[in-house]
Structure 1
Amino acid sequence: METLLIPASLFAGGLLAVQAGANAQLSKATGSPFAATTLQLSVGTLALLVLALLTGTLTAAAALPHVPWWHAVGGVASAIYVVSTILLFPRLGAIVSVGLFIAGQMLASFVLDVTGLAGDAPRTVDAPLAVGMLALLAGAAIIVKGQSGRQSHPVAGKAGWIMLALLAGAVLPVQGVVNGLLRHDLGAPLVVGAVSFLVATLAMAVALLFSTTVLRAPAPTLQGLPSMPWWGWLGGFAGAIYVTTVFTAIPVIGASAAIGLTVAGQQVASVFVDRHGWFRLPQRDVSALRLTGVVLLLAGVAVIKLL
């Protein structure tokens, strides 16, 4: 099981690059990032429900009224993360925001491992874990430094937004742990994923309503959907695979390794997306410094898992 989850986590992280490209197309078609994310999450929910029905595990949902309520709300983390990206990118810039998201993920996964909240016995902060985490954080910092393009969003005096970025990254490993608890309750990974996505969809629908009624953001439109490329709908499927893989992997390989692998997979895939301009995203040169950061991420995971 463990040997399968390591490449699966790397692959699931790579799918986040696909999700980003697909969501960009959906956002353009609807005229609203909130509407695009709500639609994307709806697609993921439907896909997981269909798979649960086909595999005969949908009946496990009958046990939901008997589980602790907070075991079922892990999907809120996805909404927090998406809303944070929408708020932070114009204020901190994409490069700094992504770097802070990664740092938040790494730090939260470290805390989950050493406290035992990830579903396993608490891990002692030994040399391999310390060296591995330092390599992961160094890799994340180098990736941010190695991004091409000039950063035009100074972060001085924006401590509140920086804390929000760290929090938005930190909630993702916590989501994996909470979903893992729900899996223990229900014993059906596909149903757990569907519940997580349904909660995330409802949370994003509330965010969409708030943005249009209180913030007076433009109402979304569906007129652009017919001209959107077919792969604009793939974001929901990519997200469903990512979420299901993470909550399955964390109790088996540990939060630090699982999150490190998904971050590394995302960065490896992003290198190819940036280099070739896939999914109609801007084509960018990939610096040697950024590649070094990706290698450090993978090295950090290897140290944590193998030593």
Structure 2
Amino acid sequence: MASWLTWLLIVVGGVAGALQAPVNATLAQHIRPMPASLVSFTVGAAAMLVVTLLTLRGQSLSSLAGGLAAAPAWSLLGGLCGAVVVSAVIVGTGAVGANATLSLITAVQLVTALLIDAAGLGTAGPIPIRWPQVVGVLLMIGGMKLVLTR
């Protein structure tokens, strides 16, 4: 079972994800969507550099470089995925609002995550899809549909 700190980080990540939409969309009104994505990633990269340096805990930068060299090339695509998400949120929030954008992204993420887990593509190994998961995802998607009703 994950620690309470893990769950807290996930909750804070959810709040940050929701706040990110209007913050970045506001920036995009001033400098356009793609430059806003670049600025967002640059600020995020600087913050992660500070956090990384503060949390090395005796691990050297050379050992990080060694681990990076050993990682499969496709594992570097996470940054590209993040860039697509941030750009989609910026453009979507500006066009249809934060709620509609995040609801659709969340629905697609839930369905995709079920398929990823079932295929065993994550580090947790294969996690079979069971009917309660399908019902849960469908209920969440139905709830999102209700939230989006205007």
Q: Cα 1:264–1:224, aligned 2, differ >3 Å: closer, same or farther?
A: same
Distance (whole Å) between structure 2 residues aligned to residue 217 and residue 260 of structure 1: 41
Which residue is 1:246 aligned to? 89
Distance (whole Å) between structure 2 residues aligned to residue 247 and residue 277 of structure 1: 31
Distance (whole Å) between structure 2 residues aligned to residue 172 and residue 285 of structure 1: 28
Q: Gaps (5+ residues) in structure 1?
A: 1-88, 98-160
1:206 aligns with 2:66: no
TM-score normalised over the length of structure 1: 0.44
Maintained 8 Å contact 1:180/1:251 = yes
Distance (whole Å) between structure 1 residues aligned to residue 5 and residue 120 of structure 2: 20
Distance (whole Å) between structure 2 residues aligned to residue 252 and residue 180 of structure 1: 9
Aligned residue for 2:3, secondary structure, equals helix
Distance (whole Å) between structure 2 residues aligned to residue 174 and residue 224 of structure 1: 33
Which residue is 2:59 aligned to? 218
The runs of at least 4 consecutive aligned structure 1 residues that moved more than 6 Å come to none
- Deviation string, structure 1 residues 122-172 (Cα, Å, up to 9, x no partner): xxxxxxxxxxxxxxxxxxxxxxxxxxxxxxxxxxxxxxx4xx653332121
Higher RCO (Cα < 8 Å, 6 or more apart): 1
Q: Cα 1:202–1:232, aligned 2, differ >3 Å: closer, same or farther?
A: same
Q: Cα 1:166–1:93, aligned 2, differ >3 Å: closer, same or farther?
A: closer
Residue 200 of structure 1 deviates from its aligned partner by 0.2
C-alpha root-mean-square deviation of aligned residues, in Å? 2.3
Q: Cα 1:171–1:225, aligned 2, differ >3 Å: closer, same or farther?
A: closer
Q: Which amino acid aligns with 1:258?
A: T
Which residue is 1:91 aligned to? 3
Aligned residue for 1:284, secondary structure, equals coil
Q: Cα 1:170–1:290, aligned 2, differ >3 Å: closer, same or farther?
A: same
Maintained 8 Å contact 2:100/2:148 = yes
Distance (whole Å) between structure 2 residues aligned to residue 177 and residue 289 of structure 1: 33
Which residue is 1:237 aligned to? 80
Which residue is 1:271 aligned to? 114
Q: Aligned pairs, how many? A: 148
Residue 251 of structure 1 deviates from its aligned partner by 3.3
Q: Cα 1:165–1:230, aligned 2, differ >3 Å: closer, same or farther?
A: closer
Distance (whole Å) between structure 1 residues aligned to residue 12 and residue 123 of structure 2: 30
Which residue is 1:157 aligned to? none
Distance (whole Å) between structure 2 residues aligned to residue 232 and residue 166 of structure 1: 25
Which residue is 1:65 aligned to? none
Q: Cα 1:167–1:233, aligned 2, differ >3 Å: closer, same or farther?
A: closer
Which residue is 2:16 aligned to? 171
Distance (whole Å) between structure 1 residues aligned to residue 67 and residue 54 of structure 2: 23
